[in-house]
């Protein structure tokens, strides 16, 4: 079983070009699943059927009280694990292919207003090294709409300060170039030139953004940074790094950007993932119409 897990890790890394975040998530989910099988007396994951995996989904819901989103992600990880077993001829069919998970109503993404974005970006004190770094991160996140996991994986070589562009890579097959506005370029340039060298633990470190120990910043660390500045700014909305990604997309759409262009910048494989912002915009216009049009108020 240990060899299968190790081979699965190599499969994700090399065959699927999975990001570090996806890699860790899938390995963790599959690890919990294999532990569950072992407790049930099943030593070999090949010797299971659909009912076994369905019972595991039920176990996550009823015994572990996991959310539908978490269970769905776990089953996706397990499904990928069995696809790997199929590709290497360990099994002929995927027992996780037809697992049924009840659908959770999708929550609409939280969007910050332009004023809230300005308030958030004004919070870091750039006279302080940490504040200078944080200002660069927040500006770059809102400038490009990249994921938090992509942000922490950036290397210094990924940003071209002269051409105002950022190269964001999620595996060899999904590399995209994103424009960066001047204020963000200036903030990143200031950080690279004056602060990053003082923070580094080793001159060999390639990470663009490092923590106070001089090593690559973690996703959890960045999440806390965003939450902290949101609180300082007095923003009462539930905010995460992904909120800036949603706001980036929505603000582009509001100002006339084409949905297809936003899809490319966000790195969405399917346009349907980007269309949610169009739905949000349509709902916003309906609200404005109903509250502002004099004849709409007549009922």
Domain residue spans in the chain? Answer: 2-87, 114-289
3-state secondary structure at position 212:
coil
Tell me: pLDDT of 294 over 80: no
Residue 28 or residue 292, greater confidence? 28
pLDDT band at 67 (very low <50, low <70, confident <90, very high): confident
pLDDT band at 277 (very low <50, low <70, confident <90, very high): confident
Cα–Cα distance, 265 to 271 (Å, whole number): 12
Please state which CATH number belongs to domain 2-87: 1.10.150.130
Q: Are strands 165-169 and 175-179 parallel, antiparallel or unpaired?
A: antiparallel
Tell me: pLDDT of 281 over 80: no
Cα–Cα distance, 40 to 216 (Å, whole number): 40
| Diameter of the chain measured on Cα atoms | 70
Q: What confidence score (pLDDT) does residue 170 get?
A: 59
User: 223, 100 in Cβ contact below 8 A?
Assistant: no
Mean confidence (pLDDT) of the chain: 89
Closest CA to 114 of 235, 290, 225: 235
pTM: 0.66
Give the distance from CA 181 to its chain's centroid. 22
Structure tokens at 270: 């399917």
Q: What confidence score (pLDDT) does residue 192 get?
A: 97
Catalytic residues: 147, 172, 242, 245, 268, 277
Please state which CATH number belongs to domain 114-289: 1.10.443.10
pLDDT band at 288 (very low <50, low <70, confident <90, very high): low
Across 1-10, 51-60, 104-113, 211-220, least confident range: 104-113
The fraction of the chain above a pLDDT of 70, given in percent, is 90
Tell me: pLDDT of 299 over 80: no
Decide whether 2-87 matches 114-289 in CATH topology.
Answer: no
Cβ neighbourhood burial of 12 (10 Å; 0-12, 13-18, 19+): buried
């Amino acid at each position: 079983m240990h060899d299968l897990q190790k081979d699965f890790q190599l499969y994700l890394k090399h065959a699927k070009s999975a990001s570090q975040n996806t890699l860790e998530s899938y390995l963790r989910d599959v690890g919990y699943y294999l532990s569950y099988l072992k407790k049930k007396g099943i030593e070999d994951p090949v010797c299971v059927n659909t009912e076994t995996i369905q019972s595991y989904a039920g176990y996550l819901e009823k015994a572990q009280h996991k959310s539908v989103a978490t269970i769905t992600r776990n089953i996706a990880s397990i499904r990928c694990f069995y696809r790997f077993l199929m590709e290497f001829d360990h099994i002929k069919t995927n027992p996780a292919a037809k697992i049924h998970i009840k659908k959770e109503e999708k929550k609409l993404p939280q969007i910050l207003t332009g004023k809230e974005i300005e308030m958030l970006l004004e919070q870091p004190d750039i006279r302080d090294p940490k504040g200078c770094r944080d200002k660069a991160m927040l500006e770059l996140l809102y400038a490009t709409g990249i994921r938090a996991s992509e942000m922490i994986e950036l290397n210094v070589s990924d940003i071209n300060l002269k051409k105002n562009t950022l190269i964001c890579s999620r595996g060899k097959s999904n590399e995209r170039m994103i424009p960066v506005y001047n204020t963000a370029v200036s903030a990143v340039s200031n950080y690279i030139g004056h602060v990053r060298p003082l923070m580094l633990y080793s001159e060999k470190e390639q990470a663009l953004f490092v923590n106070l120990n001089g090593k690559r910043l973690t996703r959890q660390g960045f999440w806390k940074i965003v939450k902290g500045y949101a609180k300082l700014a007095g923003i009462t909305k539930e905010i995460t790094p992904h909120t800036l990604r949603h706001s980036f997309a929505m603000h582009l759409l509001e100002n006339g950007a084409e949905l297809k262009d936003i899809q490319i910048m966000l790195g969405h494989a399917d346009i349907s993932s980007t269309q949610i912002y169009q739905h949000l915009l349509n709902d916003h216009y309906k609200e404005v119409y109903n509250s502002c049009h004099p004849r709409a108020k007549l009922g």
